Amino acid sequence: MRKPDYNRRVVVTGLGVVSPIGNDKDAVWASLTAGHSGIGAITHFDTTPYEHKAGGEVHDFDITQWWNFKDARRTESTVHFAVASAQMALRDSGLEITDENRYDIGVIYGSGGGGQGLFIANQETWHTKGVRAVSPFFIANGLVDAASGTIAIETGAKGFNYCPVSACSTGTQAIGEAAEIIRRGDCTAVICGAAESPLLELVHIGFTNMRGLGSPVPGQSLSTVSRPFDRTRDGFVLGEGAGAMILEDLELAKARGATIYAEIVGYGASADGFDMIAPAPHGEGAARAMKNSLERRGVPADEVDMLNPHGTSTPMGDKCESEAIWTAFGDNTPNILISATKSMTGHMMGAAGAFEGVATVLSVYHQAVPGTINYVEPDPECNINIATETVQKPIRYAMSNNIGLGGHNSAVIFKRYTGD
């Protein structure tokens, strides 16, 4: 453990992702810049009885590429996605975990719901096959912290280990907290991110009854369900997957010749303290999180060039977030290009901020802002600058926002790394 140094610079050196639009960073970037949608018909369960049919499912994913089958079969897809994304990010970073450094490498990896599928499946097993058929492994592997624990076991990282759980803000807070842990000297590097597998029949029913799920544009395909900030938006669509990053002390990353994708320079969080579902009026809580992320390390609001918003495609949520952006950025708001990637992936719940953090880092690294698909009719109540096609442009700072059920708000800021 080193002494705290809140001027310590923290950088992103590795990226891993499992998602409806690709299962590695290059595939995801290609999909984002091409405007490729990963939304289609749900196949995980029979949607015949239900009004809403769409989901963002992960395809062509094989956990045995990243984890041995014997251990993987005891758990479910949330942990599968988590382990794969973490191993992918480690491989991408070139960071080797050894006996000499393993106690300085942490894991901050979260989930909104964890292994809900295991609990549902074992409940059904109990009722249909009896007590002795219930798996002795389901509790440990179904807990929300199963991902962070398993990643440590599989990678050998024995430093600070924590599982943030803050609904849809989880992934963003995992990234922000990981940076703070490095600055305060608890670790020199952290594997951080979040995973989620919410495409379960019971979860689908719950969100349907909450009136949260959206419908496609009449006469068009299911890929049009998620249309953030569009005037016709009527709800979100569930997606699954994971995102992971390797964060490191800049000096150590430079010493080993690591690729540096971006520097993380801002992190802010807040609570609405208002309602478990509805956002605070005018996005007041989200605006505070954004302002906190700007002020924490003195990021100039007028130098933020792009923003990946929460942008779920709900009528009230998108309106309140638009107001929050105006509150946080004032006159610079029209100059910030908005890239709402949920239009392509759906809402990955606890994993949303982790995936969108990866997407934002890729934007900073490639100096390009992916367009938002399905944005056809501007909403005067969402008066922000939505990118509708990929734009190549200088990006100095980029922000990623997320807003969670329960009133959890968080924002992280990434800066282009130029070697200075």
Q: pLDDT tens-digit profile of 344-354?
A: 999 999 999 99
Q: Which of 80, 347, 382, 408 is the catalytic position?
A: 347
Q: How confident is the model at residue 5 (pLDDT cuts 50, 70, 90)?
A: confident
Q: Does residue 347 carry a catalytic annotation?
A: yes
Catalytic pick from 204, 310, 320, 382? 310
* pLDDT above 70 for 69: yes
- Can you give the pLDDT at residue 352? 98
Same domain, 246 and 394: no
The answer to whether residue 5 is domain-embedded is: no
Same domain for 72 and 116, yes or no, is: yes
Q: Rounded CA gap, 172 and 349, in Å? A: 11
CA separation for the pair 146, 82 (Å, rounded): 9
Please indicate whether residue 163 is annotated as part of the active site. Answer: no
**Does 294 lie in the same domain as 179?**
no
Q: Mark whether 221 and 281 lie in a shared domain.
A: no
Residues 323 and 192 in one domain: no
For the chain, give the mean pLDDT: 96
User: Is position 260 within any domain?
Assistant: no
Mean pLDDT of 315-337: 97
How crowded is residue 311: how many other Cβ atoms within 10 Å of its Cβ?
A: 34
pLDDT above 70: percentage of residues in the chain = 100
264 closest CA partner among 210, 201, 189 = 189
Strand 105-110 versus strand 161-162 pairing type: parallel
333 with 215, same domain: the answer is no
Residue 270: count other Cβ atoms within 10 Å of its Cβ: 23
pLDDT band, residue 3 (cuts 50/70/90): confident
76, 141 Cβ separation under 8 angstroms:
yes
Which of 80, 163, 168, 187 is the catalytic position? Answer: 168
- Distance between CA atoms of residues 314 and 229, nearest Å: 8
Q: What is the mean pLDDT of residues 135-145?
A: 91
At which of 210, 228, 255 does a domain end?
255
pLDDT at 289: 97
Please say if the pLDDT value at position 179 is more than 70: yes
Q: How many CA atoms are closer than 13 Å to the CA of 129, on its beta-carbon side?
A: 9
Assigned domain for 4 exists: no
Confidence label for 1 from pLDDT (cuts 50, 70 and 90): low
Residues 56, 202 share a domain: yes
Q: Note whether residue 36 is domain-resident.
A: yes
Check if 59 is active-site.
no
SS3 81: helix
In a domain, 2, yes or no: no
Which range scores top for mean pLDDT: 67-71, 171-175, 275-279?
171-175
Domain check: are 95 and 221 in the same one?
yes
What are the tens digits of pLDDT across the range 184-242? 999 999 999 999 999 999 999 999 999 999 999 999 999 999 999 999 999 999 999 99
pLDDT in tens, 267-300: 999 999 999 999 999 999 999 999 999 998 899 9
> Is 261 part of any domain?
no
pLDDT band of 39, cuts 50, 70, 90: very high
Q: Is 22 left (phi over 0), alpha (psi -120 to 50) or beta?
A: left
Q: Considering only CA atoms, which of 290, 284, 244, 238 is closest in space to residue 267?
A: 290
Question: How many domains does the structure of the chain reveal?
Answer: 2
Q: Do residues 251 and 348 share a domain?
A: no
31 and 96 co-located in one domain: yes
Within-domain flag for 324: yes
Residue 7 CB contacts under 8 Å (≥ 6 apart), including other chains: none
Q: What is the pLDDT of residues 230-253, one digit of tens each?
A: 999 999 999 999 999 999 999 999
Whether residue 122 lies inside any domain: the answer is yes
Q: Residues 312, 248: one domain?
A: no
Range of the domain at 304: 266-415
Please say whether the beta carbons of 337 and 389 come within 8 A. Answer: no
pLDDT band at 6 (very low <50, low <70, confident <90, very high): confident
Residue 403 pLDDT exceeds 90 = yes
Does 274 share its domain with 360?
yes
199: domain CATH number is 3.40.47.10
| Final residue in a domain of this structure, among 213, 233, 255 | 255
Host H or E run for residue 145 = none
The residue among 255, 284, 306 that closes a domain is 255
